[in-house]
């Protein structure tokens, strides 16, 4: 284990970072960041990247790689474009996809931010191959984002983690549905802290929850307002398997944040924003894909075992 300024390093940056930038794109693109991630059945890593054009609008584009690090094969054209004619909530683009494989349906579900006049909302789409998509439309009205489905039902219902914005703040909630279309039984899952904390202004889910024998491991971003703008850091919590709204442990300190030059400076400085992860063949390694400074895509690896034992020392319920 290496140390950084005396702290344990729980996520290790890949030497190839940033692993994908707009310069790699086969068509005009301004920036490439905040990708959803999954492992396809043949072992290929698929990243569904948020690509922003010069209008300031985003669409999603798939990049595939055998090792999840390099040799990316990028779709020649946008993979999923906004469709404002049929889905007016996508007028200004679609952003920040998070991918979950739903065993029961034998399909991937993508939760993404649909951005329009009402603000950002949460939309769902299903796909088997990342070539054809079935949209389910907007499932959480604006202002709501940072959403991902759980891979299986909890007590008979599908579950969606998301981050509605209310007068009471920007906290993480979980909602339940019998059919992925009708959502209810909303419960507060993780609250932003107050005052001087690193996650006092807002919190939101980062990649989809990761199932471990001890609970759902939650990597989340916390935001602190500073005179120079917002600071985005990553934190970790553990939620009960049968009742994810029950927090078993939440770490006190942040565990990963902007340090490298490509994270410090870009379109939005000081942002590390993961939307996806894949699990290594050892069942322990987390390959975390994150947007760096809203400009490029980077990779860091961590260990479930190390995160859990760090939480044992630095977490409280």
Phi, psi of 248 (to 5 degrees): -85, -35
Burial group, residue 43, by CB count within 10 angstroms (0-12, 13-18, 19+): exposed
Could you say whether residue 165 binds ligand BMA (CB under 6 A)?
no
Could you say whether residue 127 binds ligand BMA (CB under 6 A)?
no
Number of residues that bind ligand BMA (CB under 6 A): 8
Could you say whether residue 291 binds ligand BMA (CB under 6 A)?
yes
Q: x/- binding map, residues 28-47, to ligand BMA, per CB under 6 A?
A: ------x-------------
Q: Is 256 helix (H, G, I), strand (E, B) or coil?
A: strand
CB 244 within 8 A of CB 161: yes
Binding ligand BMA (rule: CB under 6 A), the pick from 273, 289, 290, 310 is 273
Of residues 165 and 279, the one with the C-beta less far from ligand BMA: 165
Give me 5's structure tokens: 């300024």
Of residues 177 and 270, the one with the C-beta less far from ligand BMA: 270
Which helix H or strand E contains 146, and what residues bound it? strand 144-149
| Residues linked to residue 176 through DSSP beta bridges, in sequence order | 159, 184
Nearest to 147 by CA among 129, 126, 121, 165: 121
Q: How many CB atoms within 10 Å of residue 220?
A: 26
Of residues 60 and 238, the one with the C-beta less far from ligand BMA: 60
Q: x/- binding map, residues 179-208, to ligand BMA, per CB under 6 A?
A: ------------------------------
Q: x/- binding map, residues 229-268, to ligand BMA, per CB under 6 A?
A: ---------------------------------------x
Which helix H or strand E contains 222, and what residues bound it? strand 215-226
Residue 293 beta carbon to ligand BMA: minimum distance, rounded to whole angstroms:
9
| Contacts of ligand BMA in 78-117 (CB under 6 A) | 95-96
Residue 96 beta carbon to ligand BMA: minimum distance, rounded to whole angstroms:
5
Residue 100 beta carbon to ligand BMA: minimum distance, rounded to whole angstroms:
19
Residue 268 beta carbon to ligand BMA: minimum distance, rounded to whole angstroms:
4
Contacts 24+ apart (CB under 8 A), 279-286: 279/39, 279/210, 286/11, 286/210
Residue least distant from ligand BMA (Cβ): 268
- Whole-number Å distance between alpha carbons of 21 and 140: 31
Q: Cα separations (Å) of 5 from 118, 233, 253, 314?
A: 43, 16, 14, 17
Binding ligand BMA (rule: CB under 6 A), the pick from 52, 144, 245, 294 is 294
Residue 271 beta carbon to ligand BMA: minimum distance, rounded to whole angstroms:
5
Residue 70 beta carbon to ligand BMA: minimum distance, rounded to whole angstroms:
24
Residue 230 beta carbon to ligand BMA: minimum distance, rounded to whole angstroms:
7
Could you say whether residue 271 binds ligand BMA (CB under 6 A)?
yes
Q: Cα separations (Å) of 22 from 31, 54, 110, 114, 288?
A: 5, 12, 22, 22, 19
- Whole-number Å distance between alpha carbons of 272 and 262: 10
Give me 247's structure tokens: 């927090």
Of residues 263 and 294, the one with the C-beta less far from ligand BMA: 294
Residue 153 beta carbon to ligand BMA: minimum distance, rounded to whole angstroms:
28
Interface with ligand BMA (CB under 6 A): 34, 95-96, 268, 271, 273, 291, 294
């Amino acid at each position: 284990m290496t140390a950084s300024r005396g702290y344990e390093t729980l996520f290790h940056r890949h030497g190839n970072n940033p692993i994908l930038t707009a310069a790699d794109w086969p068509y005009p693109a301004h920036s490439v960041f905040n990708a959803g991630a999954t492992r396809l059945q043949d072992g290929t890593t698929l990243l569904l990247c948020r690509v922003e054009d010069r209008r300031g609008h985003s669409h999603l584009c798939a990049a595939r790689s055998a090792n999840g690090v390099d040799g990316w094969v990028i779709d020649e054209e946008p993979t999923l474009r906004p469709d404002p004619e049929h889905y007016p909530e996508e007028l200004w683009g679609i952003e920040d996809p998070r991918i979950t494989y739903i065993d029961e349906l034998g399909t991937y579900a993508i939760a993404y931010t649909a951005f329009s006049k009402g603000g950002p909302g949460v939309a769902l789409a299903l796909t088997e191959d990342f070539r054809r998509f079935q949209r389910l439309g907007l499932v959480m009205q604006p202002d709501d984002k940072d959403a991902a489905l759980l891979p299986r039902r909890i007590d008979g219902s599908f579950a969606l983690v998301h981050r509605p914005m209310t007068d009471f703040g920007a906290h993480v909630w979980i909602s339940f549905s019998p059919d992925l279309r009708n959502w209810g039984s909303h419960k507060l899952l993780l609250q932003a802290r107050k005052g001087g904390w690193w996650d006092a202004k807002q919190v939101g889910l980062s990649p989809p929850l990761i199932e471990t024998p001890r609970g759902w491991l939650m990597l989340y971003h916390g935001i602190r307002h500073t005179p120079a703008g917002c600071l985005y850091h990553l934190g970790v919590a553990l939620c009960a398997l049968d009742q994810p709204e029950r927090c078993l442990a939440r770490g006190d300190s942040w565990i990963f944040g902007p340090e490298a030059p490509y994270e410090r400076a870009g379109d939005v400085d000081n942002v590390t924003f993961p939307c996806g992860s894949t699990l290594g063949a050892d069942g322990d390694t987390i390959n975390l894909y994150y947007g760096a400074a809203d400009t490029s895509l980077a990779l860091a690896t961590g260990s479930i075992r190390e995160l859990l034992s760090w939480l044992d020392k630095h977490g409280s319920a």
